Amino acid sequence: MATLQLHDLVKRFGDTEVIKGVDLDVEDREFVVFVGPSGCGKSTLMRMIAGLESASEGDILIDGQRMNDVGPADRGLAMVFQSYALYPHMSVADNMGFSMRLAGVPKAERRAKVLEAARILQLEPLLERKPKALSGGQRQRVAIGRAIVRNPGIFLFDEPLSNLDAALRVQMRIELARLHEELDATMIYVTHDQIEAMTMADKIVVLHDGVVEQVGSPMALYHHPRNRFVAGFIGSPTMNFFAVEVAGLDAEGVRVTLPGGGQCVVPVDGSRVQQAATLELGIRPEHLRLDDAGPLGGTIQVLERLGGQTSLYIETDGGLVTLMADGDVAYRVHDPVRFGFDASRAHLFDAEGLACESLKAHPLASLTRQDNRVSPQAAP
Amino acid sequence: MTRTRASGRQVGGLRALSLQAPAVTLLLLWMLIPLGMTLWFSLQRYNLLMPGMTGFAGFENYEYLLTDPALWVAMGNTLLLVGWVLAITVVGGTLLAVLFQQEFPGRGIARVLAISPFFVMPTVSALVWKNMMMHPGSGVLAWLFQSLGLPAIDWFSNFPLTSIVIIVSWQWLPFALLILLTALQSLDEDQVEAARMDGAGPLAIFFFITLPHLKRAISVVIMIEMIFLLTIFAEIFVTTSGGPGLATTNLAYLIYIRALLDFDVGVASAGGVVAIILANIVAIFLVRMVARNLEE
């Protein structure tokens, strides 16, 4: 249980700036996920919080105390590494008890804490094994157990599930969410997998080139991306973008001309938009719908049938468009198709890639995972 | 061993045997003839200074050798030499490996310099140490001691075995360093960082993470070095000639004395057999240790 604040944090390796001034507030017991493409600095940021990398500039505050010059072991943190980083020559019990052994904790107490952690993680039958004799998922649990016994204020997870196969990843994801509830600790989690981010986070931090692009709840990021990068990064398949021209501004939003000549009114704040400017309209594949009277059209290039859903990749005048349709659509490749969308689902981005603010917030945008837990039907 | 290939042709059989035969024969001859001759000579009365006195001697040579106090001195010297050099090179090599693993300017050059003594042939390095380092009049060490106000040491007269140990250690330290440095590079950096997060300082990381990781490499170093250290000869021949007295005579040198200074081929051969037995005893322990290590 602890809070974390980052103030204008900068990290340079030689002349290269990899973290370019990050500000962040993590509240007590929050599950925060750092997400971003590889090389965005998310792991470096976590390592700076852990104390494994020094900060070039800025402050790291844990529970209000400046921690920049405090060693990694004394920050009240525990970290789970992507490679698990178990000590290969020690048994599972010794791996988990290593930090207490170094701290001079009496043997009996050590044993009790290790057993307690093993109980939480269902590792009891494996305590005397060496890491080599464990499966990937078991190793992962030992690594988490090693963090638990330290009773840290903040848990740090560095891509902990990326070495596991798909089925195990789903299982561990659920287990981690359960663990977060049981341990009631602050957790910071680095991943490049947005499904992990969306499902586990109270708060997602989207990083790109060492800069925080947006911080917010998963639903806020999904429904109200602050810029084109976040819009494209969050959501799978990726959002579609068209170049559109501003045809008019009114109280209901911005009227734009779509490729192909159709028009629609996107309910966003148009105060920064100029008449006849070229903007980018973003619409998610799942918000496009097949509609013979729709304003957009093209030919199907690729059809991916997943059973419940079908992904259509449609060649249009404005480029390749992805559309998620029902699993039972009867179209075939090379068929001409027309489609449209609900303009309230669309986003507009200006030339700098910044989103025009929606006039009406999405009802789920402020929903957190906590709310999910308290009452699953809370959303209207 | 007769197996059938997928093609239906038999593997093994007469043809395969005939193809293997030259290599196997060569290896057998190479090993068995010297061994057989050594065993045969060790049972012969065979002294080059007394050509008339030949014939079967039974175990006379062994009796003479085993009752000769020189043998036990030589055995002791051999074990002391091997033990000390191993201790110095393994401990020093481990510490140097950890040092050279750290980032510092000029690390590449420093590594090459540290490893270079291994490329100097034993005779040359012994000469360099004898005439340029340890010489009581003109040696670097003498100059160093004198410039500190201490009397110069006549290394080879006063500390003969220590001197040999120093020379041989200097030669073999790079080998240990090389193997251990390579092993150290395969240490997972995450493990070290995990240990740091667990509260391990540099010492704890060394003892709990680095050393266990190096265990296997260390046992390999010990095994390989021991094979070579049991037969150290050139360094002794060039510097002390086994003296003063028998102070630096090891088993290899004793055999040389008996064979080529006393010209007693019989006794020298018996010494050779004793050396083989000693090497085998050591090897049994060693192979067990290494095998146990590799199993893990």
Q: Residue B93 has what pLDDT?
A: 93
pLDDT above 60: residue A302: yes
Q: Residue B12 has what pLDDT?
A: 63
Structure tokens at B250: 């090891």
Q: Which residues pair with B130 in a beta bridge?
A: none
In this predicted model, what pLDDT tens digit does every residue of A279-296 receive, in sequence order? 899 999 999 988 888 888
Q: Which residues pair with A6 in a beta bridge?
A: A24, A60
- % of chain A exceeding 90 in pLDDT: 14
Average per-residue pLDDT for chain B:
85
In this predicted model, what pLDDT tens digit does every residue of A322-338 receive, in sequence order? 999 988 888 888 989 99
Q: Residue A376 has what pLDDT?
A: 42
pLDDT above 80: residue A300: yes
User: Please, where in chain A does CATH 2.40.50.140 lie?
Assistant: 230-349
Let me know the angle formed at the C-alpha of A248 by A246 and A252, rounded to the nearest 5 degrees. 110
pLDDT above 70: residue A299: yes
Kindly list the residues of chain A whose beta carbon comes within 8 Å of any beta carbon in chain B.
Answer: 50-52, 71-74, 77-79, 81-89, 98-99, 102-103, 146, 150
Asked if A192 and A38 touch (Cβ cutoff 8 Å), the reply is yes
pLDDT above 50: residue A380: no
- A52, A87, A88: residue with CB nearest B196: A52
Higher local confidence (pLDDT), A359 or B185? B185
pLDDT above 80: residue A305: yes
pLDDT above 70: residue B8: no
Q: From start to end of B10-88, where are the E strands?
A: 10-11
**Contact assignment for A98 to B198 by CB distance below 8 Å:** yes
**Contact assignment for A73 to B199 by CB distance below 8 Å:** yes
Q: Residue A374 has what pLDDT?
A: 47
Q: Residue A229 has what pLDDT?
A: 92
Question: What order of strands is seen across the sheet that includes strand A154-158?
Answer: A77-80, A154-158, A186-191, A31-35, A203-208, A211-216
Size of interface A-B (CB pairs under 8 A): 62
pLDDT above 90: residue A313: yes
All residues of chain A having their beta carbon less than 8 Å from the beta carbon of residue B195 are: 87, 98
Average per-residue pLDDT for chain A:
86
- % of chain A exceeding 70 in pLDDT: 96
**Contact assignment for A87 to B193 by CB distance below 8 Å:** no
Report the relative pairing of strands A263-266 and A253-257 from DSSP bridges: antiparallel
**Contact assignment for B197 to A73 by CB distance below 8 Å:** yes
Higher local confidence (pLDDT), A215 or B282? A215
In this predicted model, what pLDDT tens digit does every residue of A163-213 receive, in sequence order? 888 888 888 888 888 888 888 889 999 998 888 888 888 899 999 988 899
All residues of chain B having their beta carbon less than 8 Å from the beta carbon of residue A74 are: 199
Query: Considering the domain A4-229, what is its CATH architecture?
Result: 3-Layer(aba) Sandwich (3.40)
pLDDT above 60: residue B1: no
User: Please, where in chain A does CATH 3.40.50.300 lie?
Assistant: 4-229
Confidence of residue A162 (pLDDT cuts 50, 70, 90): confident
pLDDT above 70: residue B296: no
Structure tokens at B145: 């001691």
Confidence of residue B3 (pLDDT cuts 50, 70, 90): low
pLDDT above 90: residue B90: yes
Give the torsion sign (CA, A323, A329, A335, A341). negative
Closest-CA distance of chain B to residue A215, Å: 27
ipTM score of complex: 0.78
Confidence of residue B276 (pLDDT cuts 50, 70, 90): confident
In this predicted model, what pLDDT tens digit does every residue of A355-370 receive, in sequence order? 888 888 777 777 766 6
- % of chain B exceeding 70 in pLDDT: 95
- Average pLDDT on B85-98 reads 93
All residues of chain B having their beta carbon less than 8 Å from the beta carbon of residue A150 are: 198
In this predicted model, what pLDDT tens digit does every residue of B30-88 receive, in sequence order? 989 988 988 888 888 888 778 777 778 788 788 888 888 888 888 889 889 999 999 99
Which domains are delineated in chain B? 43-295 (1.10.3720.10)
Q: From start to end of chain B, where are the E strands?
A: 3-4, 10-11
In this predicted model, what pLDDT tens digit does every residue of B222-250 receive, in sequence order? 888 888 888 888 888 888 887 788 888 88
Asked if A43 and A187 touch (Cβ cutoff 8 Å), the reply is no
Asked if A283 and A341 touch (Cβ cutoff 8 Å), the reply is yes
Each as own residue / partner, the long-range contacts of residues B88-91 (CB below 8 Å, 24 or more positions apart, any chain) are B88/B165, B88/B169, B88/B173, B89/B169, B89/B172, B89/B173, B89/B175, B89/B176, B89/B221, B89/B225, B90/B176, B90/B218, B90/B221, B90/B222
In this predicted model, what pLDDT tens digit does every residue of A80-109 receive, in sequence order? 988 888 998 898 988 998 988 888 889 898
Most confident among A123-137, B77-91, B248-262 (mean pLDDT): B77-91
- % of chain B exceeding 90 in pLDDT: 16
**Mutate which: A89, A100, A146, vs B, most B CBs within 10 A:** A89
**Contact assignment for A99 to B213 by CB distance below 8 Å:** no
Question: Which of the following CATH numbers is that of domain A230-349: 3.20.20.70, 2.40.50.140, 3.40.50.2300, 3.40.1180.10?
Answer: 2.40.50.140
Torsion of CA A131, A134, A138, A142, to 10 degrees: -10
Q: Of A41-55, B161-175, B238-252, which gets the smallest average pLDDT?
A: B238-252
**Contact assignment for B209 to A85 by CB distance below 8 Å:** no
Question: C-alpha distances in angstroms, A293 versus A19, A287, A300?
Answer: 48, 16, 17
Q: Residue B108 has what pLDDT?
A: 87
